[in-house]
Every structure is written in C-alpha cells, then in structure tokens.
Amino acid sequence: MMLYLTTFPYQESSCIMGRRDVQIHFLTLLVLYFSVMEERNSTEETPRNNALAQRRSKSYRQSMRSCVEATHLAYTSGLLTALRIPRSRKAPKSCDITKQVDPDQVALLVKKEWQLSYVTPLYQFRHTQLKSYSKQLSAFMVSEKQQGLAIEVGQELGFKVNFSVVLGLAETDKDAETVFIQILSKQVFSAKDDAPKVVWSGWLTCVNGDLDYLRSLPLEFVSLPLFCTRGPESLTVLVKSWFENIFDCCFGPLDINSTNLQWLASLWTGCHPTINIQYLKLVWTLPTLPPMDVTYTVHPQDAWELWDSMRQVDTTEDSISIDEVTGFIKGLQSHFFRHFRIDLSAGSLMQISTALGSSHHSGKIKIASPNYIPTILQLLTECALLKMPI
C-alpha cells in the first residue's frame, strides 16, 4: 500500500500559531470490510416519509413544547409547525435536469461556488413583477453607492439588474419557483460597445420544502428559504438590505454542520456507479495546539465499496438512513486511526469535496454536475428551513 505523507515545517520562532497541514492520500484501502462489519449497528426501518415523525398514541403529558428534534438552542422551531430533522432520505437518482430546466440556466448554477444564507418568508413577493423589481433594485443600488462615498468615476456607470425565473427546479406544488438575480455593470476600462459584465449573481430557491410548514404560511407570504450568492460582499449587503426593506424578511448565514456534510459525502459517494466521483476528500480540524488540519483523500472505488457495505438493507429500497451515514464516516475514521493513531472524531468536519461538488462548513457549496441538483438543493432547503427563526 502506498502512502504519501507530507508535513509542512512548523515554525517555532513565530509568535503566531501556524496551522500544520497534513495531507494524506490513500491510493488503496485494504482489509476495510472486516473492520467495518464489526462496527455495524443494527438499523431499524426508518420511515420513508421524512416529513412526519412517528406519532405516539395519546400521552398523558400534553405539553405545548414542540418535539425534541427541533428544539435546540441554535434552531428555534416555527411557531406554526414543528420542524423535524429527517433521519432518512431518498437515494439520489441521476436525472437529466435539462429536461425540466433550460440548459443555459442550469449552466448558470453549476460549477460555481455559492455562499449560502437563509431567508424568512417574503411578504407580497410576486413572480409577475420581476421587471419592476429589477428597476427598483438598480435604482436603489445606484443611490446607495452615491450616498456619502467618494465619487468613483467610471466604475459605477450604473447597475443593471436582471431578475429572472428559473422554471423547473421546484419539485412540489407548494414550492415557489426559483428566482435568479444578476447584477451587471460596465467595467472601468471597457470600450463603449462592450456588454456589461456580470459582477454579482444570486438566486432564491425552495426545493421540496417541508409541506406542513409551507401549507401553514399565510397566503401573502412566499417562502424561498435558500439564498445563494456569488460576488463582492458589498453588493450582497446591498441586495439583502433592499429585500429586507421591500419584503420585510430577514437574512442570516447558513452554516452546514458536520451531520449535513456527512450526508453530502455519502450521497455523493453513492452516486459513484453512475458517475465517477474521482476522489472523496474530507478535511477535518483537530483542536490541538496549534490546530491541525487533516486532509483525507480516499480513492473513489474504495469509498464506494465501503459505502455499499454499509447499505446492508437491500439496495432496491430508496431510502438512506442516518445510521448508514454515520457508519460510513466511522469506518473512514477508524481506518485513519489504525494508521496514524489520530482519532478524527475528536475534531470537526470542515469540508468535503468530490468531483460532483464540494461543500464547506461556513456555508459554501459548489455543484459541479447538473444531474444531482434536486437532491442537494432539497438537503440545503431543509437546512435553511430548520435554521430560520420563524
């Protein structure tokens, strides 16, 4: 078995604690199944319908508190319904999304890194008035830029904003259609006839949102909980403040916690037979002094075999349960421990990436392949709905 281990020299003299980067590439993983089979826990059948949790029969303790999964200090459950964290998901199917969505618009969404935030429901947002929204937003941005700042000649010759609808991403009737926003402006040294370039883009979407929640919203509100942005932070702040003023909503950062990163890793690994993921890279941060980052790259075939051995329920069943996901990650961690005596569960998972996409803990996502967009967006929509304070 070939191992490449590179460590960077740690500078003792500097007073700033540097980070040690340890990159380990495994080309082959041997004798992995046996260790994995010992650790396998029994999985019970989890309900396929992940929107409803098991209902207990009449309990004598009638309390107004919502169910345990959603009452946490970082998540507040909605006043209208209690949201539950799903314990199982449908296996992603490769679908040719170009059948539903215009391929040009799909090209706008993939292969770019997006920063995620959540949005509370928008009041009186009409999909029919997108043109007037474009005009209002461009006027707002021009006025904000001119207000109080030193005049920069040439750069802001005026912003042109484009609101457009991306039809076809919404999965159920209750999902609102995705709205795509682009901000174009002329560059400083462009020739007269040059088309303005896109300086900022963003989109609001809701894919397969929780049906109980969406049904319980009053009629004037449109829920598009996931907001993805790409571009300078100053423009993002302006767009958010415009939305907050017009539609009375709130924005907030959406972090992807380690459980959701593990879901993404397993879902992408599960796609390996249909489309080669080329590598599975996981990055952990360990709380040592100085903090150590571990990059763990796994050969795709080995990752897939490990994942397949975790799916001991017959693979004709569609749903993947959280136990299989945690078992998969535990298998990877125990293999690492056997070789390096470093227990990765003492740290936190920061980033995962495959050829199909990558995702970072701070809320960045990049989808490289258009085939699995609905599954990824559904997961992210759930995160956004859970994170929202209402």
Interaction site with another protein (CB under 8 A): 53-56, 58-59, 61-69, 71-75, 81-82, 85, 255, 257-260, 287, 322, 343, 345-348, 361
Helix%, strand%, coil% for the chain, nearest 5? 30, 25, 45
- Min dist CB 295 to another protein, Å, is 19
What are the C-alpha distances in Å from 254 to residues 166, 227, 386? 22, 9, 10
Closer residue to another protein (CB): 106 or 350: 350
Residue type for 248, please?
D
Residue 257 CB, nearest approach to another protein (Å):
5
**Token pair belonging to 33:** 């199944």
Kindly state the smallest distance separating residue 291's Cβ from another protein, in Å. 12
Closer to another protein by Cβ: residue 105 or 262: 262
- Minimum CB separation of residue 18 from another protein in Å reads 21
Grouping H, G, I as helix, E, B as strand and the rest as coil, residue 167 is coil
Nearest to another protein of 39, 248 (CB atom): 39
| Among the listed residues 299, 277, 296, the one whose alpha carbon sits nearest the alpha carbon of residue 342 | 296
Task: Closer to another protein by CB, 3 or 68: give it.
Answer: 68
Helices marked H in 205-321: 211-216, 233-247, 258-270, 300-310
Side-chain-side CA neighbours of 229 within 13 Å: the count stands at: 22
Instruction: Map tokens 């005596």 to a residue.
Output: 341
The residue among 48 and 72 lying less far from another protein, judged by its C-beta, is 72
Q: How far apart are CA 8 and CA 319, in angstroms?
A: 42
Residue (281 or 360) nearer to another protein, CB: 360
Give min distance, CB of 288 to another protein, in A: 11
Instruction: With H, G, I as helix, E, B as strand and everything else as coil, classify residue 124.
Output: coil
CB of 362 to another protein, least distance (A): 9
Distance between CA atoms of residues 235 and 238, nearest Å: 5
